């Protein structure tokens, strides 16, 4: 999505001012200049004119005891530069302004570093939280660590959306017990949920054609399984949670991870 133009940001600022007050809002170019932080009153008049012409706002002015639309005045100089006027959001303009609000919200969001970490033990949950905090402390990105979600709505609206939007992915796999294969071989397995999140991240990377940096920590002894067998992730082995946090903080400080942010 392209970034908002300066003119669109000014239009959004006008909308927010009008929205916050009881319509129609009485205003003047001098007042709007101070409120919106726009020193060029001509720019404000141009945006108001364009929004009025596009039927996104309604501009009127009291004259002779009656309220008249801007089109009934001799020219825009007489309308804008002589006293105050009234601004009201038009029904046709609401969707436009709501879309501008959504775009502004997206632009203001920090890129996410998705933290996939076990939650079976309190130490694992605390590690996930600490990793997310380190991202916020040491980078301009935001660490995302989602604790247990027990509903499909929680998954789709929260975890899956964060995975889709993440700029980098960190996974920490802890022991989840010993399993035996059909041929009788035994090995230590990691978290199946984290295996799934790694698979989802790999799928999104492929389908979105984006190179998402991945950092994988594996507790010593866990066998490579599933999608990880096909991915060259160069996992970092650990025995204690403190090792993970120290290594991760070192990589963030040195700038070696994440290598990019979309």
What residues does each domain of the chain span? 6-105, 109-254
Class in CATH terms, 6-105: mainly alpha
- Model confidence at 223: pLDDT above 60: yes
pLDDT band at 151 (very low <50, low <70, confident <90, very high): very low
Average pLDDT over residues 47-68: 95
CATH of 109-254, one of 3.40.50.10140, 3.20.20.70, 1.25.40.10, 3.40.50.450: 3.40.50.450
Among 129-133, 159-163, 218-222, 238-242, the least confident range: 159-163
Q: What is the rounded distance in angstroms from the CA atom of residue 123 to the CA atom of residue 144?
A: 17
pTM for this prediction: 0.56
Q: What is the rounded distance in angstroms from the CA atom of residue 243 to the CA atom of residue 236?
A: 10
- What pLDDT is recorded for position 227? 47
**Cβ atoms within 10 Å of 184's Cβ, excluding its own:** 6
C-alpha R_g of the chain: 27
Q: What is the rounded distance in angstroms from the CA atom of residue 25 to the CA atom of residue 152?
A: 44
């Amino acid at each position: 999505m392209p970034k908002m133009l300066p003119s669109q940001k000014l239009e959004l600022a006008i909308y927010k001012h009008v929205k916050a007050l009881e319509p129609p809002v009485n205003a003047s170019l001098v007042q709007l200049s101070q409120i919106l932080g726009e020193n060029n009153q001509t720019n404000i008049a141009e945006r108001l004119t364009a929004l009025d012409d596009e039927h996104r706002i309604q501009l009127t002015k009291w004259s002779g005891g009656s309220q008249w639309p801007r089109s009934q005045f001799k020219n825009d100089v007489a309308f804008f530069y002589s006293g105050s006027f009234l601004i009201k959001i038009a029904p046709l303009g609401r969707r436009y302004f709501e879309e501008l609000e959504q775009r502004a919200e997206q632009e203001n969001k920090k890129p996410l570093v998705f933290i996939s970490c076990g939650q079976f033990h309190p130490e694992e949950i605390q590690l996930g939280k600490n990793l997310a905090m380190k991202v916020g402390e040491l980078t301009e990105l935001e660490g995302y660590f989602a604790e247990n979600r027990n509903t499909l709505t929680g998954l789709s609206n929260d975890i899956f959306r964060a995975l889709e939007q993440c700029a980098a992915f960190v996974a920490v796999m802890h022991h989840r017990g010993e399993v035996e294969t059909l041929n009788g071989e035994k090995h230590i397995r990691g978290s199946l949920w984290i295996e799934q999140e790694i698979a989802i991240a790999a799928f999104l990377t492929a389908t979105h054609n984006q190179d998402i940096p991945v950092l994988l920590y594996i507790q010593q002894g866990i066998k490579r399984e599933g999608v990880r067998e096909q991915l060259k992730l160069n996992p970092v082995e650990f025995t204690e949670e403190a090792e993970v946090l120290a290594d991760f903080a070192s990589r963030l400080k040195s700038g070696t991870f994440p290598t990019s942010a979309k």
